[in-house]
Amino acid sequence: MSNDPPHLPVIGNPPSAPVVEPLDLTEQELEEGIARLKQERNAVILAHYYQESEIQDLADFVGDSLQLSQAAAKTQADVIAFCGVHFMAETAKILNPTKIVVVPDLEAGCSLADGCPAPLFQRWLEGYPGHTVVSYINCSAEVKALSDVICTSSNAVKIVKALGDQKIVFAPDRYLGAYVKKQAGRDDIVLWQGTCMVHEAFSERRLLELMVKHPDAEVIAHPECHEGILRHAHHIASTSGLIKYAKESPKQTFIVATEAGILHKMQAEAPGKTLIAAPPEDESCACNMCPHMRRNTLEKLYLCLRDLRPQVDVPEATRVRALQPIQRMLEMSV
């Protein structure tokens, strides 16, 4: 710990992606350092279920996208260290403009957010006048600013149903959108054609092989999965919903079709149960991991708390416009 600087200056983002300095610290020293910096900074660590297990174990709160937004909305901390991907930290910043929001790795993006650039989205929306724009939280602040209401995988069906017979466009996830259409009985919803690179990669063929090998297992799947997976699922839910189901179901074995980081908390919540990760098409992998989520490490978490960078910022005009559909979602989710 003697490497620590004598003071902890508050600084903004460097002009380019930060170079991660090599830290000669053991895992225990890193964990102790993170705990100490958290206190000094009056920081809260929020982590998504897809994070590495050692990050989840250090976090003050681990949750799904909705729970993390709710936690960000009510935190009293001065600093939010967001262990997840960029759009999640951006949402925390939109809700907390006066707080410092830092991320371990500013480059931790999301294929759904990246696949829906705001200028293209804006032009696309011009083709659907009079439609209510429902955007999945996995999108940029600029896309949120063009939306009427945000949703997550845990409240998307509820929010769309609450909109009654309004004409709807749904973006950016076409698989979640298709699932919502089915659940809400709304064939007419217009979908942006984005996908999650992780949930799109699951293999129906390899899933069927696993189902034959484990005939008593239940398949539980995230709604970002493609139809080839969802059609075999006994239960479809957000990350927190899947953990709850594995915990409460009388079944003993589950084939889990979502990012493999979820298995850490799921196993803790459902001890003694057998959890099998659904595999991707790539034969060399037994489970599916999000390369964006995996950019975050304990070292980078330590550094972001120490240096208060990289910070996530949102231009004020965008923030104010993006806040409205997020608040609408939070109000519709209580």
Residues in contact with ligand SF4 by CB under 6 A are 50, 85, 110-112, 138, 196-198, 224, 259, 290, 292-293
List contacts with ligand 13P (CB under 6 A): 49, 64-65, 138, 152-154, 196, 222, 224, 238-239
Residue 292 binds which entry of ligand SF4, ligand 13P, none, with Cβ cut-offs from 5 to 8 Å by kind?
A: ligand SF4
Residue 299 binds which entry of ligand SF4, ligand 13P, none, with Cβ cut-offs from 5 to 8 Å by kind?
A: none
Q: What is the Cα–Cα distance from 156 to 87, expressed in whole angstroms?
A: 17
Query: What is the CA angle 204-209-215, rounded to 5?
Result: 115
Minimum CB separation of residue 288 from ligand SF4 in Å reads 9
Nearest CB to ligand 13P, comparing residues 8 and 332: 332
H-assigned helices in 187-297: 204-213, 227-230, 239-248, 262-269
Minimum CB separation of residue 83 from ligand 13P in Å reads 12
Residue 299 near residue 276 (C-beta atoms within 8 A): no
Is the omega angle on the peptide bond into residue 172 within 30 degrees of 0, that is, cis? yes
Minimum CB separation of residue 25 from ligand 13P in Å reads 29
Cα 130 to the center of its chain, rounded Å:
30
Nearest CB to ligand 13P, comparing residues 33 and 223: 223
Residue 111 binds which entry of ligand SF4, ligand 13P, none, with Cβ cut-offs from 5 to 8 Å by kind?
A: ligand SF4
Nearest CB to ligand 13P, comparing residues 62 and 301: 62
Minimum CB separation of residue 21 from ligand 13P in Å reads 28
Q: Which residues contact 154 (CB under 8 A, 6 or more apart)?
A: 64, 65, 66, 237, 238, 240, 241
Nearest CB to ligand SF4, comparing residues 77 and 260: 260
| b/e map 222-255, b = 16+ CB within 10 Å | bbbbbeebbebbebbbbbbbbbbbbeeeebeebb
Residue 197 binds which entry of ligand 13P, ligand SF4, none, with Cβ cut-offs from 5 to 8 Å by kind?
A: ligand SF4
Minimum CB separation of residue 290 from ligand SF4 in Å reads 3
Minimum CB separation of residue 143 from ligand SF4 in Å reads 14
Q: What is the Cα–Cα distance from 26 to 223, expressed in whole angstroms?
A: 39
